[in-house]
Amino acid sequence: MAFIEWKDVYDVGFKEIDDQHKVLITILNELYDAQKKGTGQHMIANTLKKLAEYTIYHFDTEKKLFEQYKYPQMAEHLEEHDYFVNQVKDFQDELQRSNLLLSMKTMDFLKDWTITHILGSDKTFGEFVQRKELGI
């Protein structure tokens, strides 16, 4: 069983964003599998790096959409993105310093933040765009 199962409720209404969210969840599942199997630190570090890089790519896509649609909650949403990016960087630093595997607490944070963000802020943005396109 996967660490995170994709559910249709996670759809935010943008195929590109939904597809990117699926990739992020796949990477989180890869990270969890590597951690659970006790895979070497190098493999876990590479997967965490992949997560960090893809997250930045994904957040850049969202930022462009915020600008395109003149999203009034853009600043708050971007602050959430910055927080997550900084947390992932901290996890990378800790992994490098300690030569230990990531804790389950870290994995739970990654999972919880991602799902909460998708169901909260990202859904709110998707609904904003749908209303705007309908002229509401």
**pLDDT tens track for 61-83:** 999 999 999 999 999 999 999 99
Q: Is the dihedral of CA 17, 32, 103, 111 positive or negative?
A: positive
pLDDT in tens, 100-119: 667 788 899 999 999 999 99
**Cα–Cα distance measured from residue 56 to residue 24, given in angstroms and rounded to the nearest whole number:** 11
- Residue 44: pLDDT band with limits 50, 70, 90: confident
- Residue 84: pLDDT band with limits 50, 70, 90: very high
Tell me the DSSP string of 10-67.
G--S-HHHHHHHHHHHHHHHHHHHHHHTT--HHHHHHHHHHHHHHHHHHHHHHHHHHH
pLDDT of residue 73: 97
Domains of the chain and CATH, by start: 38-133 (1.20.120.50)
Per the prediction, the chain carries an average pLDDT of 91
Give the up-direction half-sphere exposure of residue 51: CA atoms within 13 A in the CB hemisphere. 27
